[in-house]
Structure 1
Amino acid sequence: MHNLFKAISLSYKNSPVEIREMVAFDETLSKRLLGMIEEYADISEALIISTCNRTEVYYSSADDQYETILKLIGMVKGIDHISKYKKYFTNIDEHDAAVRHLFNVSLGLEAQVVGDLQIINQIKTSYQWAADQNIVGPFLHRLLHTIFFTNKRVVQETAFRDGAASVSYATVELVDELTTAHEQPNILVLGLGEIGEDVARNLEHITDKKVVICNRSIDKAKVLAEELGYGVIPFEERNNAILEADVIISSVRVDSPLVTKDTFNESPVLSHKYLFDLSIPRSIAEDIEEVNGLLLYNIDGIQTKASQALEKRMASIPDVKAIISEAIVEFGQWSKEMEVSPVINKLKNALEEIRQTEIARHLKKASENETELVDKVTKNMMQKIIKLPVLQLRAACQRGEADSLIEVLNDLFNLENQSEKIKP
């Protein structure tokens, strides 16, 4: 099991957004790919992570399955000649590098926004999908739970997850704070450029809200709305939506403000409206707050808040890396011991078989009390006899010298023909 873990990665670091969109996987496609990997690739465990910034396949196999998995990705996504896109994929075929990469991705060190708050939940979802397909074994179970525990340490012991470090997430965080008194705030997202789309996706973290998106390209708005369960309105009808919304988030590219005081001329503002202008040039008039009830937040203030959070996160990176290194060492020790676990089980079974055979041969005429006493004594003897070989085997494993000791035990007790399953 040790030294078998590998990964295939495509991320924002080496691929444009259109390529990332092309190989993105939802739950249905992820499970389909996992099923095909299990059937056609020589692997024992697998995990697929797919977000807007990356698609990655992690797997355990004695052999490099890069080419096979790449072909299966092409089949599931309906991509002809997937090899044309090979340059966008990174093959991580070294065990320790793949383990560390999954740690770094899960904890947000590899995220586009360092310390991304969403990624750990996305990893948990991916883990659940793989578990549903019964393609997660002892190695991945232990690795992922070690990562989840390490994430808790990072949250508790560092400032790496403090504050919102991106403009979009800082905006959503502020919207959430400002609308606590609203039972279900009506939120309008104007414009679906990079920031607008990111805001729309991050709004999922506000539990109870009604979101409508409005974009010049209504087709793009419909695709995103269907994915996220939001409403859509045509761009020409935006004014009505602005008047109805409690929160307006605008990132539309315009030469002059799109939302002005005139927008509210014929409709008095009966309660507070919160306007967020994330556009450059600005798409909401600077004097909009002259209308009673309107509060404006512009990109500079939000960017300052995000930058301060990002600085704290960047300063925490050495501490995060130290925590990860500690976790990897501990996991590595467990992983090495897993190598010898089958040998230990076989050795226990071999000795138990000898014990039971001798008891059956010599206690045919013994009373029930005598049999129970001998059984108890010989069990205790076996436990003491096996203790030292097990300790020596585990110690040899930590030194990387287990192979020779395993070979001796195999020869002495013919363990090759012994079952791993512990006998009662």
Structure 2
Amino acid sequence: MAQDIVIVGVNHRSAPVEIRERLALADGQLDDAHRRLLALGPIKEAVLLCTCNRVEVVAYADDASAALDGIAAFLAEEQRMPRDHIEQHLYRYQGRAAVQHLFRVAASLDSMVVGEPQILGQLKEFYARAAALGAVQTVLHRCFHKSFSTAKRIRTETGIASKAVSVSSAAVELARNIFDRLEDKSAMLIGAGEMSELAARHLLSAGVGTLIVTNRTFDRAVELAREFGGTPVPFEHFPRYLHLADVVIGSTAAPQHVLTPALIHEALRERKQRGMFLIDLSVPRSFDPAINDIDNVYLYDIDDLGDISEDNLAERQREAGKAELIVEAEVTGFWEWLTRLDAKPTIVALRERVEDIRRREVEKTVSALKDLTPRQREAIDALTSAIINKILHAPVTHLKRPDAESEMFYIDAARRLFDLGDPENKDDK
């Protein structure tokens, strides 16, 4: 098959971060990059994907082999990197394998965390960007939209995204299990590092009502609170606000406990013994383990949450098996559509070629038989048309529905056997 879908790129498994960050395109580079891709001779449609974990070009091309090589060169040249520096990290997909890869990416089966929801939104954004530039036409339009609907089907029909797999998300999931709902609850973050930032994102996603942030470096507490609509509190004053928090998540590098039984007893007294949920993500621990002996307090450390995450990850992997079956079925459906699309010009050319031969031979015969009546001429015309249709029935059926093993074999064979020429050049007979 000359025309085909191809993908060339790197991801978190094929390339270290120092390679990915050098290949990554800034937002301001994307439009020109799409135009340069389309200027490569064989490429008809293209979408550039660029996230923290992957840089990929998805393309539909006239010449798949030339497109694969051209895209690899493009990625190196675009960021002024020697080709041999990135070659070992690149993966290449063509045809059905490329479609399957794209569908797996959309369904987050190819993500660092299987089942994470962010990649689908990113994919939609990059597709929309390419479409707005006119870089997407019939084939990639259908392919990307089919990948989106496949991802939606997987989230609906499997539990791949239902369980938390990071300790931060597991912490919030546990809090929701204890309080049923978080919309009317307040949360305090002690520490403002990466773990706390992730916890803040999950808390907001869960609908937590109020967020309080404290950190030894107050400016960082202000920054994190501003990002998530919370209230910053100086670290030395956080005990005064402790009674306001239903959920307290700690992630600090403190050498000693920052939360002690005495502080919790005082907070509970002001809360009239209403329960508190404490999550210590620190190593070494920031919350005194003795707090766990206090009534109406639930204390979990990072090991407790790690067990939850591992169990959930195992569950996601089981659900991923179901998702792979859905991907396979959806890829088959799309590939059948694409094959029919590719077969149409060949079927039309085949019918035109055979009809041209039939018409010329009928005219030659009718001219030689001068005594034929108009009715006899019509009968000959109808008979030869019927014979041609019968002969073409089986070949056309195979062209419309090739099996998975042969796919484009019948199309290429028909064009060669009947000398149909290049489907892109209708004058080439």
The answer to whether the 8 A contact 1:214-1:235 is kept is yes
Asked if 1:90 is matched to 2:92, the reply is no
Flag the 1:197–1:45 CA change in 2: closer, same or farther, 3 A. Answer: farther
Amino acid aligned to 2:73: E
Flag the 1:413–1:125 CA change in 2: closer, same or farther, 3 A. Answer: closer
Deviates more, 1:274-283 or 1:100-109: 100-109
Aligned-residue sequence identity (percent) comes to 26
Q: Shift of residue 164 of structure 1?
A: 1.9
Asked if 1:297 is matched to 2:300, the reply is yes
Matches within 5 A, 1:110-149: 110-149=110-149
Asked if 1:324 is matched to 2:327, the reply is yes
The answer to whether the 8 A contact 2:46-2:57 is kept is yes
Question: Matched residues in 2 for 1:214 and 1:22: separation?
Answer: 35
Question: Matched residues in 2 for 1:22 and 1:209: separation?
Answer: 40
Matches within 5 A, 1:321-360: 321-344=324-347
Amino acid aligned to 2:9: I
The answer to whether the 8 A contact 2:20-2:55 is kept is yes
**Backbone CA RMSD of aligned residues:** 4.6
Q: In the alignment, what sits opposite 1:251?
A: 251
Q: Shift of residue 151 of structure 1?
A: 3.5
Asked if 1:168 is matched to 2:157, the reply is no
Flag the 1:194–1:71 CA change in 2: closer, same or farther, 3 A. Answer: farther
Question: Matched residues in 2 for 1:352 and 1:122: separation?
Answer: 50
Question: Matched residues in 2 for 1:23 and 1:220: separation?
Answer: 31
Question: Matched residues in 2 for 1:401 and 1:306: separation?
Answer: 50
Q: Shift of residue 400 of structure 1?
A: 1.2
Q: 2:415 aligns with which of 395, 406, 414?
A: 406
Amino acid aligned to 2:89: T
Report the count of equivalent residues: 383
Flag the 1:326–1:231 CA change in 2: closer, same or farther, 3 A. Answer: same
User: Unpaired runs of 5+ in structure 2?
Assistant: 357-381
Question: What do the CA deviations read for 1:183-219 (whole angstroms, capped 9, x no partner)?
Answer: 4644443445553343344445335655455555677
Question: Matched residues in 2 for 1:318 and 1:222: separation?
Answer: 43
Q: 2:399 aligns with which of 385, 393, 397?
A: 393
Question: Matched residues in 2 for 1:84 and 1:398: separation?
Answer: 33
Q: Shift of residue 279 of structure 1?
A: 1.7
Flag the 1:291–1:33 CA change in 2: closer, same or farther, 3 A. Answer: farther
Question: What do the CA deviations read for 1:43-97 (whole angstroms, capped 9, x no partner)?
Answer: 333334444433433333432312223443x3xxxxxx54499449832233144
Matches within 5 A, 1:363-378: none
Question: Matched residues in 1 for 2:16 and 2:160: separation?
Answer: 26
Question: Matched residues in 2 for 1:410 and 1:401: separation?
Answer: 14
- For the residue of structure 2 that corresponds to 1:116, the secondary structure is coil
Q: In the alignment, what sits opposite 1:8?
A: 9
Question: Matched residues in 1 for 2:229 and 2:19: separation?
Answer: 25
Question: Matched residues in 2 for 1:88 and 1:204: separation?
Answer: 41
Q: Shift of residue 331 of structure 1?
A: 3.0
Q: In the alignment, what sits opposite 1:268?
A: 270
Q: Shift of residue 339 of structure 1?
A: 2.0
User: Unpaired runs of 5+ in structure 1?
Assistant: 75-80, 354-377, 419-424
